[in-house]
Chains A and B, each alone.
Chain A
Amino acid sequence: MPTMRRRALTALAFSLLASACADPSGASDAAGGTAVIATPADPDVLVPALTTTATGQAVVQQLFDRLADLGDDMNTVGDRGFRPRLARAWTWSADSLSIAFALDARARWHDGRPVSASDVRFTFDLYRDSLTGAPFAPLLANIDSVTVRDSLTAIFWFHERTSEQFFDATYQMLIHPQHLLGAVPHDSLRQSPFARTPVGSGRFRFVAWEPRVKVVLASDTTNYAGRAKLDRVIFATSSDAAAGVNRMLAKEADVLDNVRPEVLAQFAGRSDIRTVPYAALSFGYLMFSLHDNGTARPHPLFGDRALRRALGLALDRRSFVRAIFDSMATVPVGPVPTAIAPKDTSLVQLPFNAAESDRVLDSLGWARGADGMRARGGKPLAFSLLIPAPVRTRVRYATLIQAALKERGVIVNIESVEPPVFTERVTKRAFDATLYSVATDPTPSTTVRQSWGSAGALTAGGSNRSGYANPAFDAVADSAAHASDSDAARALWTRAFRIINDDAPAIWLYDPRQVLAVQARLQPARLLPTGWFARLADWGIPAGQRLPRDRVSGAK
């Protein structure tokens, strides 16, 4: 198997080189073709304000537009690098507490109606209305209101100046059509016909959704932002992971995301399938519960900072990454994926130091017995490690951690449960320790403060599942989120991450590079960490490499 994986990775390196050298112009310029994307599930709902699943996001981001898109450098501070989308220009007020967005007068909904400033105001009100139940509404908390100056000018008013006001106004919301949704009660959006037959303003328009089979989109040929290069995009559902792989191998699908390391070997050596790695905004860690079963009482083991640090010192995270991902992952330096971590080489997490781990455990009174395992006051040093059963990466990590800690005299009982049970247990904080993985926003400001800030530490169902609370961390993280420029923000985040790394409420384990498998005839555009599908409208198929199915056009 290691040989197979090496072969796969060699193929991957070649394909990476090939994709880097590929000429994005040339024969692919002429529009046309169909891309079939194998997805693991149907979208949940096609109202952007409500969708939470990866497939839902992939579809709605083709159909709907933001006011402005993040640039390739992923900057979220100020407005540097943002690319105009529905808004062709914007103006900051003198006090920086409002931004006026001038909409592109050519923008139209797919039913022909013009996109107006009223749609922008309607969208903000929709997201903010608690009846809607928009999952990401709290991320708009700094926006006080949106007003309409004229049919093409929407003004965002903010409560306070922060470095990410522009990001808040543009990244979290896709603009919804008021003329189609204005009459729908906000608590019935999920059940409305629009949720299954949406009308957007994006470069693809909706054609059909056949449940458990496919969602079909077609190029909006007269779109103000330019025609999508592909005629059609089909999201074909393969609820079984192996079925998605088979579809790729049998050339029934053109794109497969989230290719696991064990599957790479199947694509190795095939000239018709390219595997393209890309940085993503997800990472995994070992999280300790700092409180006893969700109560205010400290956890009998992990309430002790020194013990958490000793366990962290015992884990050789680099060798874990090599064993499981080979070269396809790195060890994160803090509570964010590497793509958005401060680029400061002095920022490191606890080192691997087995001798120091032993010394600390001894000093805490956890003495080794005749069997080599540690105990204190007759109680063994043992805890349960909760993992979701079918997630292979975490199952393998659990085994490695169990073995590494056994060498230090610590007993780890792996508790493997179904994903819905896992989520319920983690949400209720009914665990000792768990292997957790999250996808984040492209800025630390949102996820880090929600996942590790004191505010969510002990509230029922709060997002801070470890129960970690440190006022010093909160203060520095808040300052970082309000910093006036990127350099200041970076320095403050570095300080905040040092604090949390020292407290060790979690041990950061892996930041995997995602791999997208693509049939060689497709020419993908740049894959962004915010989602490989972000530039799908710029993907192409050279005219000479099209199949019969590419010649069926659904575009109009």
Chain B
Amino acid sequence: MRGMGAARALALPLLRGVLVVLVVAVVSLVLLHLAPGDPLASSADDPLVPTEARARVRAQMGLDRPLPAKVGAWFAYAARGDLGFSLSAGMPVAEAVAGALPYTLRLGGVALVLGFALGIAVALVQARAPESRWDRWVGGGALALWALPEFIIALGLIQLFSLRLGWLPSSGASDPWSTGGGAIRWTEQLRHLVLPALTLALIVAAQVSRHQRVALREAGREPFLRAARARGVREGALLYRHAGGAALAPTIALAGLALPALAGGALIVEQVFAWPGMGTLAFKALAERDAQLALGCVVPMAAVVVGGGVLADAAHRWLDPRRATEPS
């Protein structure tokens, strides 16, 4: 029965999420149509390219259609799984997105896990000696990291680990010259993942550590913790087992909120590290006014963000029985 209830509790937010993604698609279509700029800029800028050639490509790509026709055509084709052809990527949009999405999920996934692990660990260490010098220094450091733009952290890491120490590659998702497979390929890809993932993870960790520290302090004031302390439970066990568990629920909810920030951060970090994911693809689409490709990037990213939010909310309910009875 609890399983059925959980499914029902998940279904409604998911339906709402689908609606949000559809609205995002329509709004994006309208904004991209209204945005100034020539999608054929790279060829239109060449005086050798004649007007007729540009007009033909414009017609072929449906760039000369009015907005309602564009919106209608996009939904009609999207319903059949066809997201159109990207002029700037030179391939079907679905193919371009399918190629880029795994890179971003890999980067975002590792950054999220690493960021949460680091953030929670730092908060636990801070909570052991609240208001100490160590607590204040670490808290200040986390705040500074949170305030720093991603590209500054990225450039700092590249300068140190790639250009000075030569330990890690400066960009890309693999060595361009690589032909190896198996473990060699895997190791090489891991080396390329370290710096971009660390950049994003540091920002996530800063955010998580601050939330987790506050949650731990609040949990410390709960009656069940005072009771446990009165029963003689050791401070370490109190912190890690009892307070840590109670403080985890709001932090899990934070994972849902971290996804949009992570997607936004990926846009910058992927550019700096020449990481071939959705951020690079979206940047190219916007820079070249490629509306088909831009939509192809916006919709799956919106779906990931909305889906992540729904799942985080569900996880929060599951971890915190007090919220299970709240309407979704």
Does B183 sit at the interface, judged by CB under 8 A?
no
Contact indicator A234/B41 (Cβ below 8 Å): no
> Are A238 and B90 closer than 8 Å at their CB atoms?
no
**Min CB gap A44→B, angstroms:** 5
Bound-state Cα–Cα, A53 to B99, Å: 22
B163 close to A135 (CB less than 8 A): no
Whether A139 is near chain B, meaning CB under 8 Å from some CB there, is yes
B283 sits at the interface (CB 8 A): yes
| Bound Cα distance from A157 to B280, whole angstroms | 47
In the complex, what residues of A have CB within 8 A of residue B273's CB? Answer: 243
Q: Does B85 contact A (CB under 8 A)?
A: yes
Q: Is the CB of A552 within 8 A of B177?
A: yes
Contact with A along B71-111 (1 / 0, CB 8 A): 00000000000000101111110001001100000000000
CA distance A244 to B99 in the complex (A): 22
Q: How far is the CA of A281 from the CA of B187 in the complex (A)?
A: 44
Contact in complex: B53, A133 (CB < 8 Å): yes
Interface residues of B in 28-53 (CB under 8 A from A): 36-39, 41-53
A462 contacts B51, CB within 8 Å? yes
Cβ–Cβ contact B36 & A421, under 8 A: yes
In angstroms, Cα B52 to Cα A130, docked, is 8
Choose, from B168-176, B234-242, B248-256, the stretch at the interface: B168-176
Report B116-175 residues with CB < 8 Å from chain A CB. 155, 158, 162-163, 166, 169-175
- Quick one: closest A residue to B85, CB to CB? A191
Q: Please give the number of chain A residues whose Cβ is less than 8 angstroms from any Cβ of chain B in the complex.
A: 71
* Complex partner residue of A446 from B48, B55, B92, CB under 8 angstroms: B48
With an 8 A cutoff between CB atoms, is B301 at the interface? no
Q: Indicate if the CB atoms of B171 and A246 lie closer than 8 Å.
A: yes
Given contacts A250-B170, A461-B54, contact A232 B287 (CB under 8 A): no
Could you tell me if A190 and B41 are in contact, using CB atoms closer than 8 angstroms? no
Complex CA gap A214/B55 in Å reads: 31
Residues of B within 8 A of A196 (CB): 90-91
Contact bitstring B163-201, A, C-beta under 8 A = 1, else 0? 100100111111111010000000000000000000000
A252 contacts which of B47, B170, B280 (Cβ < 8 Å)? B170
Q: Does A377 contact B (CB under 8 A)?
A: no
Indicate if the CB atoms of A214 and B47 lie closer than 8 Å.
no
Q: Which of B41, B49, B166 has a CB less than 8 Å from the CB of A419?
A: B41
CB distance from B259 to the nearest CB of A (A): 22
- Chain A residues with CB under 8 Å of B325's CB are none
In the assembled complex, the Cα of A212 lies from the Cα of B163 at a distance in Å of 23
List of A residues within 8 angstroms of B283 by Cβ? 239
Q: Does A250 contact B60, Cβ atoms closer than 8 Å? A: no
Instruction: For the complex, give the distance between the alpha carbons of A42 and B91 in Å.
Output: 12
Contacts of B51 in A (CB 8 A): 459-463
Type the 1/0 row for A408-452, where 1 means its CB is closer than 8 Å to any CB of B.
Answer: 000000000111111110110000000000110100001100110
Indicate with 1 or 0, residue by residue over A539-550, a CB within 8 angstroms of chain B CB atoms: 000000000010
- Give the residue of A136, A240, A420 whose beta carbon is less than 8 angstroms from that of B274: A240
Please, what's the 1-or-0 string for A35-52, where 1 marks a CB less than 8 Å from any CB in chain B? 010000111110000001
Does B2 belong to the interface (CB within 8 Å)? no
Min C-beta distance of A229 to chain B, whole Å: 17
**Which residues from chain A contact B12 at a C-beta distance below 8 Å?**
none
Among A131, A213, A464, which residue has its beta carbon within 8 angstroms of that of B174?
A213
Chain A positions 242 through 268: 1 when the CB is less than 8 Å from some CB of chain B, otherwise 0: 111011011011000000000000000
Question: Closest 10 CB pairs between A and B?
Answer: A420-B37, A212-B276, A423-B41, A463-B47, A424-B38, A236-B176, A461-B51, A246-B170, A549-B177, A135-B49
Could you write out 5 A-B pairs with CB less than 8 Å apart? A41-B284, A246-B163, A424-B38, A438-B47, A447-B47
